[in-house]
Structure 1
Amino acid sequence: MNWVVMTLIAAEILFWVVIVLGLVLRYVLRLNKVGLIFLSMTPVIDLILIMTMTLDLLNGAKATVPHGIAAVYIGVSLAFGKQMIRWADERFKYYVLKVGHLPVKKTGIAYAKAYFVSWLRHVLAYLIGTGLLWLIINIVGHSEHVLALYHVIKLWTIILGIDLLISLSYFIWQKPQKG
């Protein structure tokens, strides 16, 4: 496994470690401000990741799909980060602290609307991630060294289109209520 893949995996693990530490500090140890500082460190992890990948390319490395996935990861982290932290926060309170309740799963038109909002966040992630990829391509230079980054952009564009179709399908074929 090459170091780029290892860096991506480390960033993902570190993202969740920082979130869990932030929640433990905030709720278990009652260090609310310190916990919030940890929770707000997630963008710093993203910044370090993109700087590492860009420096690698500037030092002559040939771009690979993992280089592109780093930009995808950052786009998703920035667009969905607050929601992921809220999701972890709710479950931490419910399962660990035994307070509160889990959110009721949405069905029908409410689910379709929520999924569409999620798709809009996906568009934001796409704009951030592909913006970073284009920035890196322009910094490194348009050459065969960055072909993998173009492929990541093309694939993500297709995935974004498929996600839109899935989102729209929930307005037509609504998710039924269980039980």
Structure 2
Amino acid sequence: MIVTLIIACEVGFWLLLAAGLALRYLAKMRRTSVAVLLCEPLLEVVLLVVTAVDLKNGAQPDWKHGLAAVYLGFSAGMGHYLVTRADAWVAYRFAGGPKPAKAPRGGSARTAYEWKMAGRFTVAALLAIALLQAAIWYVGGDGGTDSLRMWQQRMLLVIGINVIIALSYTLFPKKADQARSRPSLLDRLLKPPSERAGSHTDKDRTLTKG
């Protein structure tokens, strides 16, 4: 049940995000879109309550409860960033907004970017560790908490990997002029029609007549 609820929360997150952005940029219903987007945290609240009730009813803590805590931690730590990035891309594609900045290709800007990403993952992992520790205290000494502590160790590993990646860009920075400029798949899919290869503006068609 816990795993099914986690999947439902993830699907619900993206459905609510898509609905909220469609209401904002396609239907021009800004207030309604805000109301829809504000429903997203309710999904995490439901998962938290269900997990707590399951443990309260005597369920033995296992990997599913740990996964729920990790999901909640990363939803809280990364959710705002994902929503902001999705909003920027949809505004660019459908509302004439500025093109969202991509990850810098090199230099000090790329180093700063990697440290920011490491910071986001660290915050998410620390939130997950805190939730896991709360679950350990909630269960008490009589319950088996090995699986929850295993998830805590994995979160420490996530932090370590991201710090190492950021540190590698600090110690061995790549020069911006040596990095290849290649548009991402997301960039190609969300690029406005007027900027796509092979598209022509009215001025182009005028010049090509005759």
TM-score (norm 1): 0.89
SS in structure 2 of the partner of residue 116 of structure 1: helix
Aligned match of 1:114: 113
Match of 1:99 among 73, 76, 96: 96
Is the 2:103–2:113 contact (alpha carbons within 8 Å) kept by the matching residues of 1? no
Is the 1:8–1:66 contact (alpha carbons within 8 Å) kept by the matching residues of 2? no
Letter in 2 for 1:38: V
Give the deviation of 1:118 after TM superposition: 1.7
Q: Which range moved further: 32-41 or 5-14?
A: 32-41
Q: Which range moved further: 111-120 or 13-22?
A: 111-120
Give the deviation of 1:36 after TM superposition: 1.0
Aligned match of 2:123: 124
d(CA) in 2 for partners of 1:77, 1:55: 20
Higher relative contact order (CA 8 A, sep 6+): 1
Long gaps (5+) in structure 2: 182-210
Equivalence map 1:94-173=2 (5 Å): 94-95=92-93, 97=94, 99-100=96-97, 101-108=99-106, 109-173=108-172
SS in structure 1 of the partner of residue 145 of structure 2: helix
Equivalence map 1:4-15=2 (5 Å): 4-15=2-13
d(CA) in 2 for partners of 1:84, 1:125: 13
Give the deviation of 1:116 after TM superposition: 0.7
Q: Which protein is bigger by CA-based radius of gyration?
A: 2
Letter in 1 for 2:28: R
d(CA) in 2 for partners of 1:126, 1:114: 18
Letter in 2 for 1:82: H
Give the deviation of 1:104 after TM superposition: 3.4
How many residue pairs are counted as aligned between the two chains?
176
Structure 2 CA distance for partners of 1:31 and 1:98, relative to 1, 3 Å:
closer
Letter in 1 for 2:120: R
Is the 1:72–1:129 contact (alpha carbons within 8 Å) kept by the matching residues of 2? yes
Match of 2:16 among 15, 18, 25: 18
Identity of aligned residues (%): 28
Aligned match of 2:202: none
Give the deviation of 1:173 after TM superposition: 2.7
Match of 1:39 among 37, 58, 63: 37
SS in structure 2 of the partner of residue 62 of structure 1: coil
Give the deviation of 1:10 after TM superposition: 0.6
When the two chains are superposed, the root-mean-square deviation of aligned CA atoms in Å is 1.7
d(CA) in 1 for partners of 2:150, 2:100: 39
TM-score (norm 2): 0.77
**How big is each residue's C-alpha offset from its partner over 1:32-75, in whole Å with a ceiling of 9 and x where there is no partner?**
11111211222221111111111111111122222112111111
